[in-house]
Structure 1
Amino acid sequence: MKTIDNLLKQGDFSKEELVYLLSTKGEQRKQLRQHAAKLKIETVGNKVFYRGLIEYSNKCKKDCYYCGVRASNAGPERYDISDAEVFEAAEFAYKNNFASLVIQSGERSSKTFIDKISFLLKEIKKLSDNKLGITLSCGDTH
């Protein structure tokens, strides 16, 4: 096996090399972390990007057993938050220089739901001068 210095210089790693690097301890672990911090600063700079999360809805058509919002779980009260609440959160994110938002919900595929999400996306883009990135997390789509 190559030394940790030589491994870190090469950039691309085999599975075995990754396992080795991730199992280091002591000084080698410290060296790995320092190298990772240096690469992070070179790649994205010395800053943190804020991302807002809007829990739009907990209604879901799927019944994934591991999930708390699965269709057959009668426990949670189901909701869709209002457009005003979505826009308030988006405006807060924009005014406070968040890089992006995630809109999260359970999985639904009705035309009404799709039209609502499309409307919200367009309005958020307008109110943020097209500057907020938006990620949708609205269930599995496989």
Structure 2
Amino acid sequence: MDLMSAYYQVRMRQEDIKFTAFQAPNGLWGYLVLPMGVCNAPATMHRLTSKLFRDLKQTKLTSKPFRDLKHTKSFYDDIYIFTKSPKIEDHLEALRETLDILRDNKRYVKLSKCVFCADEIPCLGDFVGRKRVCMDPDKVQTIKD
């Protein structure tokens, strides 16, 4: 799944808006949401999506709540859901739990960039499945040509 306009879903803290200020002919402006292009935006996005799926149960390392969804991983604005079980019910349960977390945190996905209940999914230029990882066939063909 891909978060829709992911950076713009992250509100700036009030005290940080001044750091995004710029002068325009009609006055001084500041971003209310995380702008693309600022040096810390990618790290902030990655930290936020990683934390979404880790915050329910207590751990000995921290007093903060912690949840680790073993079936959901994120990379910046991309969210990957995978299950080892071949049962579709298990995958749908993992999908429901992930979508509930996104909804509860007011994060929205772009449906046209989502792939649901597939044997393999595109991931960082490769295709990842339950039993294998392989190169994108289009890239292989380009190399062959």
TM range (shorter): under 0.3
Q: TM-score, normalised by structure 1?
A: 0.26
Structure showing the higher strand proportion among its residues? 2
Larger Rg: 1
